[in-house]
């Protein structure tokens, strides 16, 4: 089958599914999971003829309903499907009217009658969060942890009258980590992989390949949702069994113990190794020995002498405290509120009143839970307070720890002032579009934000208006030496170097979760500091950064060596094996076009391999890197593991290249600077180097294509894209029409403020770059190339440049050979059918980062892809990178890889060990 450009060029297409059979689907369910399944099924070409979800709650529609209504999909919100065991006729008729061929039930809390389940041609499939037949029922994830299972997973099965006893269609498994919780399992595996599996299952059914594997009764359990009365912890067992019981009941219903005759619920358990820190003994009923209240929390001991650590305690009245505060929970002095804080307190009092509508007046002594509040009310309180004051990072647990209004206000004000933090990480605030964005601005060394040694700062500029965002510390050589020393100590002596790889992976997963939690803030910072359009910053700059950390977090415990048979001199016997070991302290230098994503591409692999690092962001875009540093502290990354130094390449970058204690340097930037770095690394201590350098990526466009979306190969991220198509070769017969279509699309692009959600094209990164681009265009015109469109600065404040098109570009011209790194399309013709001739021209460059070809002819596409001299070749698509696929160039575009398994090898060394036995 031949490909057409329109079929494979869609920006978000994943494409092999495009040609497969499609079904008419009814989605029955709810929640964000249901929404994602719905969205992905539609992306894969299936037609959703109806969505059946739950009624609105408190005036808010379920996420599934929101997505479907936005798309114009018919939505039905039935409170129930049957009464007294019998289907409701009107509901059944409404369902029948949509004409579904398959029911897809991604998350369904309602009981669906069997005449609905069996009605469609293909029946119904449903998602269940366990590896059936084990752990049937509503608390399947909980029981996976309570039982201490080594594996978790989910099942997609054919729904039946039992709703979890029907034949199995598909199953997926994952390992259960020692400190996994319901939340971590769900976020890491059950949610993202479950969405993929539901889509895969539907396609198997559409293609007639879906199995029906009968479930056995052997090993099946039917544990129901635990009641609080049954959740008491049996302390006469191993520490691991106690830990499993606690994490399996966290957050609902909560596992508890008795202290002084009163029940106390435990949350946030983790296995504890090593010697216990100093603490105060605590007698606990039924325990083999007293617990220990330490600065880290409550240490409990099993009957095997091993220990676990509990972070939080909750008492009968609903109040929750850090376990470390058990003996001092009532000792904190109250803070005096300022006038502004008093006004905020009254606004919060109104929020409480709106939630606790049954309470006549909210007094200082009013208790949130004793007044009838439930868990959903906690979420509402947190979200409404966040709306009033977005700068306060409020969590659900904070409500449990401050249950009276007076205590809640005291807690809130302390957070507002930053007094709840062990260290003050955030110094400066920037007001953007009425949003307060918290951005650190100092060097980050050994877990602290500090001024540069010499106190120097520089201004970072918002390219949208040319105004100063804030002043940033300008790191010195002494700062580099301090950061390297901290990283070396963290590697040699700190917990990071001794950490179990799975624990290291857990910290990276937590870091990714925090990045996702702060994704809107990160995207805003990225937009104002780099000029990236907000929507692109959110999806790609930040979104792919999160994906990258999650991907490499999964690699942490999969780095392994080999056993090798060697020639054995008899009578001796030998065993030879290899080990993959971290290198030590690594330096990373990143560019300004994707500040956060380039940080993630290199540092995630570096950290997953077990190294420590010192990172220098680009001088003009330091802010997301410094915000990232703040999140690493919240994630629990040990001090010294990550150090970030804003400043100049000539000073910081050079010292990193020369430093004798750095064992690896990863660099993305220009080819001339890459050569200088490589020379310095060789002359200093022969440190390992990986370089991702300049490009002039050719894109060959044959006449047998559709014209849709070609332009984004050049104008994506304002053209500030290392793999942007630097030169387009267009077959002669379609050249003029192609140019006409491109210009027509460019004219539709909205140029403006990158924070405006409707903007397509933001400002160039900084003034010097804009000036360089204007000079680039001027040179092209002087050499005789035809300027078809653009080539000028936009007449408004900031560093905006018009998307530009040049034609009649000859091979000898400057713009044919040199990268613009901006929104400049450079187009050359080639004769119809001259495949080998255009290949020779495309490869006539010293760069080899990326390339592309557009054609319906798959044989021609493969022929061209085999002969293009580049590290990445795109066929009928462009810019489609993925965290699992290696990325890097040939020739003077550098060497070494980012992303994928290959990236790990850049940050590892191989040790061979031979044993005679």
Annotated binding site for (6R)-10-formyltetrahydrofolate: 110-112, 164
Distance CA 160, CA 671 (A): 62
Q: How far are the Cα atoms of 592, 701, 805, 882 from residue 824, in angstroms, in the given order?
A: 18, 17, 6, 25
| Residue that is written with structure tokens 């399996």 in the block | 248
Contact 348, 415 (CB under 8 A): no
Cα-Cα-Cα-Cα dihedral sign, residues 901, 905, 906, 907: positive
Beta bridge partners of 52: 28, 76
Based on its alpha-carbon atoms, the radius of gyration of the chain, rounded to whole angstroms, reads 30
Contact 629, 644 (CB under 8 A): yes
Q: Catalytic residues, which ones?
A: 128, 692, 722
Distance CA 457, CA 428 (A): 14
Strands 102-105 and 124-128 turn out to be parallel
- The annotation places the binding site at 110-112, 164, 590-592, 616-619, 649-654, 669-670, 772, 819-821
Q: How far are the Cα atoms of 462, 537, 565, 756, 766 from residue 753, in angstroms, in the given order?
A: 11, 13, 63, 5, 15
Token reading at 211:
């199995």
Distance CA 572, CA 580 (A): 27
Q: How far are the Cα atoms of 422, 443, 444, 662, 823 from residue 450, in angstroms, in the given order?
A: 15, 5, 6, 22, 38
Contact 288, 303 (CB under 8 A): yes
- The continuous run of DSSP H or E covering 48 comes out as strand 47-53
Helices (H) and strands (E) in the chain, counts: 30, 40
Contact 74, 25 (CB under 8 A): no
Q: How far are the Cα atoms of 6, 380, 712, 783, 828 from residue 736, in angstroms, in the given order?
A: 19, 58, 19, 21, 11
| Residue that is written with structure tokens 């084990």 in the block | 134
Distance CA 902, CA 532 (A): 29
CB proximity list for 564: less than 8 A, separation 6 or greater: 576, 577, 578, 912
Tally Cβ neighbours within 10 Å of residue 222.
12
Length of the chain measured in residues = 917
| C-alpha 108 chain-centroid distance | 27
Distance CA 259, CA 321 (A): 15
What angle do helix axes 623-635 and 519-530 make, rounded to 10 degrees?
A: 160
- The continuous run of DSSP H or E covering 688 comes out as strand 688-692
Strands 307-314 and 320-322 turn out to be antiparallel
DSSP reduced 3-state for 142? helix
* Full DSSP string of 92-130: HHHHHHT--SEEEESS--SPPPHHHHS-STT-EEEEESS
| Phi, psi (degrees; rounded to nearest 5) at 567 | -70, 120
Distance CA 340, CA 116 (A): 58
- The annotation places the binding site for NADP(+) at 590-592, 616-619, 649-654, 669-670, 772, 819-821
């Amino acid at each position: 089958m031949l490909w057409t450009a329109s079929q494979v060029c869609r920006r978000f297409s994943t494409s092999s599914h495009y040609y497969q059979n499609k079904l008419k689907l009814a989605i029955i369910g709810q929640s964000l999971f249901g929404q994602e399944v719905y969205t992905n099924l539609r992306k894969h070409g299936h037609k959703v003829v109806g969505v059946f979800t739950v009624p609105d709650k408190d005036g808010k529609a379920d996420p599934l309903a929101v997505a479907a209504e936005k798309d114009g999909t018919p939505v039905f919100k039935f409170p129930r499907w049957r009464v007294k065991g019998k289907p409701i006729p009107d509901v059944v008729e409404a369902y029948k009217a949509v004409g579904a061929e398959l029911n897809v039930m991604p998350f369904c809390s309602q009981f669906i009658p069997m005449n609905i389940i069996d009605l469609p041609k293909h029946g119904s499939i449903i998602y269940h969060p366990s590896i059936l037949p084990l752990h049937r029922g509503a608390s399947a994830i909980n029981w996976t942890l309570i039982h201490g299972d080594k594996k978790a997973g989910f099942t997609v099965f054919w729904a039946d009258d039992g709703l979890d006893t029907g034949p199995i269609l598909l199953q997926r498994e994952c390992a259960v980590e020692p400190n996994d919780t319901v939340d971590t399992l769900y976020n890491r595996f059950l949610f993202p992989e479950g969405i993929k599996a539901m889509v895969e299952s539907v396609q198997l059914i559409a293609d007639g390949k879906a199995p029906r594997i009968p479930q056995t009764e052997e090993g099946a359990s039917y544990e129901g949702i635990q009641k609080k009365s049954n959740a008491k912890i049996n302390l006469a067992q191993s520490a691991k069994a106690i830990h499993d019981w606690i994490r399996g009941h966290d957050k609902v219903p909560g596992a508890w113990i008795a202290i002084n005759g009163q029940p106390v619920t435990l949350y946030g358990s983790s296995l504890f190794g090593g010697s216990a820190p100093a603490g105060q003994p605590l007698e606990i009923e039924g325990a083999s020995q007293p617990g220990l209240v330490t600065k880290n929390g409550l240490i409990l001991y099993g009957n095997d002498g091993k220990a676990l650590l509990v972070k939080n305690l909750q008492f009968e009245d609903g109040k929750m405290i850090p376990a470390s505060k058990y003996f001092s929970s009532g000792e904190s002095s109250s803070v005096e509120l300022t006038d502004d804080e008093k006004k905020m307190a009254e606004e919060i009092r109104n929020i409480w009143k709106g939630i606790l509508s049954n309470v006549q007046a909210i007094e200082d002594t009013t208790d949130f839970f004793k007044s009838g509040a439930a868990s959903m009310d906690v979420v509402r309180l947190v979200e409404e307070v966040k709306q009033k004051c977005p700068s306060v990072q409020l969590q659900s647990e904070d409500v449990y720890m401050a249950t009276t209004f007076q205590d809640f206000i005291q807690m809130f004000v302390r957070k507002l002032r930053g007094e709840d933090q062990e260290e003050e990480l955030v110094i400066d605030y920037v007001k953007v579009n009425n949003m307060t964005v918290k951005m650190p601005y100092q060097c980050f060394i050994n877990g602290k934000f500090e001024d540069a040694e010499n106190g120097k700062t520089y201004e970072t500029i918002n390219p949208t208006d040319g105004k100063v965002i804030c002043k940033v510390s300008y790191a010195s050589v002494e700062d580099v030496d301090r950061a390297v020393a901290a990283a070396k100590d963290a590697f040699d002596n700190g917990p990071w170097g001794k950490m179990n790889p799975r624990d290291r992976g857990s910290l990276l997963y937590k870091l990714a979760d925090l990045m996702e939690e702060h994704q809107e803030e990160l995207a805003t910072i990225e937009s104002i500091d780099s000029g990236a359009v907000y929507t692109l910053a959110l999806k790609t700059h930040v979104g792919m950064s999160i994906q990258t950390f999650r991907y490499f977090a999964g690699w942490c415990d999969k780095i392994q060596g080999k056993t090798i048979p060697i020639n054995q001199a008899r009578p001796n016997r030998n065993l030879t094996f290899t080990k993959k070991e971290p290198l030590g302290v690594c330096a990373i230098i990143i560019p300004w076009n994707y500040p956060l994503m380039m940080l993630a591409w290199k540092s995630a692999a570096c950290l997953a391999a077990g190294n420590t690092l010192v990172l220098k962001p680009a001088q003009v875009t330091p802010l997301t890197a410094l915000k990232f540093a703040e999140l690493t502290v919240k994630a629990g990354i040990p001090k010294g593991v990550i150090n970030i130094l804003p400043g100049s390449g000539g000073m910081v970058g050079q010292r990193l290249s020369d430093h004798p204690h750095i064992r690896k340097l990863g660099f993305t930037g220009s080819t001339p600077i890459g050569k200088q770095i490589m020379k310095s690394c060789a002359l200093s201590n022969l440190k390992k180097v990986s370089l991702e350098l300049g490009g002039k990526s050719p894109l060959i466009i044959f006449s047998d294509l559709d014209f849709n979306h070609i332009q984004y190969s050049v104008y994506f991220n304002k053209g500030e894209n290392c793999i942007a198509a630097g030169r387009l070769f267009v077959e002669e017969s379609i050249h003029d029409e192609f140019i006409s279509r491109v210009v027509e699309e460019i004219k539709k692009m909205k140029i403006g403020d990158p924070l405006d959600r409707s903007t397509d094209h933001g400002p160039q990164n900084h003034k010097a770059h804009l000036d360089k681009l204007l000079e680039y265009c001027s040179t092209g015109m002087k050499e005789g190339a035809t300027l078809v469109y653009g080539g000028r600065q936009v007449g408004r404040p900031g560093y905006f440049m018009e998307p530009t098109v040049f034609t009649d570009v000859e091979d000898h011209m400057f713009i044919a050979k040199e990268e613009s790194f901006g929104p400049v399309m450079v187009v050359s013709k080639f004769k119809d059918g001259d495949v080998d001739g255009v290949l020779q021209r495309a490869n006539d460059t010293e760069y080899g980062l990326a390339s592309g070809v557009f054609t319906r002819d798959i044989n021609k596409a493969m022929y061209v892809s085999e002969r293009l001299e580049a590290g990445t070749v795109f066929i009928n698509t462009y810019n489609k990178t993925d965290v699992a696929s290696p990325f890097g160039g040939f020739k003077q575009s550098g060497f070494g890889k980012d992303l994928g398994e290959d990236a790990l090898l850049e940050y590892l060394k191989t040790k061979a060990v031979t044993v005679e036995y």
